[in-house]
Structure 1
Amino acid sequence: MRKITLLFVLCLTVCVASAQQKKVLEPTPPMGWMTWNYFGDNINEKDLREMADAMVSSGMVAAGYNYLMIDDGWQGGRDNRNNIIADPKKFPSGIKALADYVHSKGIKLGIYSDAALLTCAGYTASLGFEEQDAKTFASWNVDYLKYDYCHAPKDSATAVDRYTKMANALRKSGREITFSICEWGQRKPWHWAAEAGGQLWRTTYDVRDKWKNLSNQENAEGILDILDINADLHAYAGPGRWNDPDMLVVGLYGKKGPSGDLGGIGMTDTEYQSQMSLWSIMAAPLIATNDVRNMNEATKRILLNKEVIAVNQDPLGKQAERKIKNDTWNVFVKPLQNGEYAVAILNRAGQAKNYSLNWADLGLKGTYEVRDLWAHKTVGKGQKWKGQVQSHETKLFRLKKI
């Protein structure tokens, strides 16, 4: 009997360990709100508590935006034991108090550092202090780390080494912390970032609040520029491993600051809606950056569309494949868990265009019921769709076979 009991305990221990190893962090793309595009490094605990309150009252949390992420500018250096500390003027109550506050609202807390001595904005970073900082973040009850790559060498080997060190440190910290790798896609992280310990990785330079880069400046990408990079990476995405084409700029309307640099003059609501459609069908993280405390109805309609969010959060975890690509039309197809499909049709042209599309041309044989996820209604049944698409509009459909 004693042997049987010991065998049972051993089997149970092995099973629990195996289950823990198999647990996937971020089985669907992370959703939340981040400080950078709206506040830059001018952040403080009062504004962030207000933003957490607004995320609840506006319906953002109920819609799935469950992270509040602090970007660069929170740091106050290190104490006499080399523990990283928050700026006492910006965060007089400390980061743990803020984490406790947002957790009480049903929101997780994200924080930021850099794989060098200084961050992009010149604040204290984590190179050489990976384990110490990871333990500090864990002690503050942080849930997410965005790890940037400013002031670091350009080669890939160093990047892999530095990101792996921080990922290992997070795993040893005693707390589950999502790891967001942010080296801007220059070292093709889709090939190595998951193995290095990341749950998501940036595929491009920073997004600007504009439709397209017309200046040929580096790091001045608009929505179309980022789309054309991220769209080709569908094979590398899946549960717990996401391509990250950077934050949503929906509702910023050309606000001065990081997203307003390098020609970021703002976009129309149609273009903002297109970003939401395209990021959703590409299974990208949905990280809002507008002032959630003061959203107009158009911004709320875009960010809170539960049918669109459901496409992004589909448990199958597939990033859409771009099936049609030319100067005017892009068409994306995303398989969904229940056997349905999401289809996005983007008109890249500067004027409205009529379009006719046979589902068979996308590899979808048979007859389908077509639901327009922005109109919230069924718009047809059959083997094709035809209609008008406005300039820079993205139609987003859900197809159910009948």
Structure 2
Amino acid sequence: MKHHQYAITPPMGGWNSWDCYGATVTEEEVKGNAEYMATHLKQFGWEYIVVDIQWSEAGAVSSAYRPFIPLEMDEFSRLIPASNRFPLSKDNQGFKPLANDIHQKGLKFGIHIMRGIPRQAVHQNTAISGTNKRARDIAKPNSICPWNTDMYGIDSNKDGAQAYYDSLFQLYAEWGSGLC
């Protein structure tokens, strides 16, 4: 096969909430942009709708990260959508209702996640699903992101680290509709 035949058309992406809203996007804004994409751009190959970083921060006000701000989190140290910005996420629905809406438009849905475990989980030493280990047991507090204070790294050699990651992906699977 000739080299120029690998990508006959350029890879098409989609819409990412950061580009328009920074960290402040709401459910209604995501749905509105998905509707526009489905109506006007899907026919040209645009298919992805991505809710970018800090969807768990209830008080996001701009593209500037607010250091050490509380994030919405479940009892197992996992970030969940801020219910004031994503009202359909209430009652443990997570992004399932929004993903369903986007998939019904023939589009694909994704979320941005940061590596590691929320710092507030470590400070509160919250539980980790599927193990008796807690957030402090797996955290690597000297592994931090220089531009965002939300997360600590995880020491993957510690008991409970894999259980934490497994629980994250289980949660995303429970949100259903095949987050992609």
TM over 0.5: yes
1:41 and 2:77 correspond: no
Identical counterparts, % of pairs:
23
CA displacement at 1:126 relative to structure 2: 8.1
1:32 and 2:27 correspond: no
* Structure 2: runs of 5+ lacking an equivalent: 1-9, 57-70, 90-94, 119-144, 155-160
1:54 and 2:41 correspond: no
* Structure 2 partner of 1:92: 87
Write out aligned runs for 1:3-402 (5 A): 29=11, 31-58=13-40, 60-75=41-56, 76-94=71-89, 95-117=95-117, 121-123=148-150, 127=154, 128=161, 129-141=164-176, 142-144=178-180
* Structure 1 partner of 2:129: none
Distance 2:30 2:11 in 1: 23
* Structure 2 partner of 1:283: none
Q: Based on CA coordinates, which of the two structures has the bigger radius of gyration?
A: 1
Considering Cα pairs closer than 8 Å and 6+ residues apart, tell me whether 1 or 2 has the greater RCO. Answer: 2
CA displacement at 1:124 relative to structure 2: 5.5
CA displacement at 1:133 relative to structure 2: 1.0
Number of aligned residues: 116
SS in 1 for 2:99: helix
Distance 1:103 1:126 in 2: 32
Structure with the higher fraction of residues in strand conformation: 1
The 8 Å contact of residues 45 and 90 in structure 1, kept in 2 or not, is answered as yes
Q: Which whole-Å deviations, capped at 9, do the CAs of 1:44-77 have from their partners, x for residues lacking one?
A: 101000011111222x111111110111011243
SS in 2 for 1:79: coil
CA displacement at 1:92 relative to structure 2: 1.2
Q: Which whole-Å deviations, capped at 9, do the CAs of 1:332-353 have from their partners, x for residues lacking one?
A: xxxxxxxxxxxxxxxxxxxxxx
TM-score of the pair, normalised by structure 2: 0.56
SS in 2 for 1:86: coil
Distance 1:31 1:100 in 2: 19
* Structure 1: runs of 5+ lacking an equivalent: 1-27, 145-402
RMSD: 2.4
TM-score of the pair, normalised by structure 1: 0.27
The 8 Å contact of residues 77 and 117 in structure 2, kept in 1 or not, is answered as no
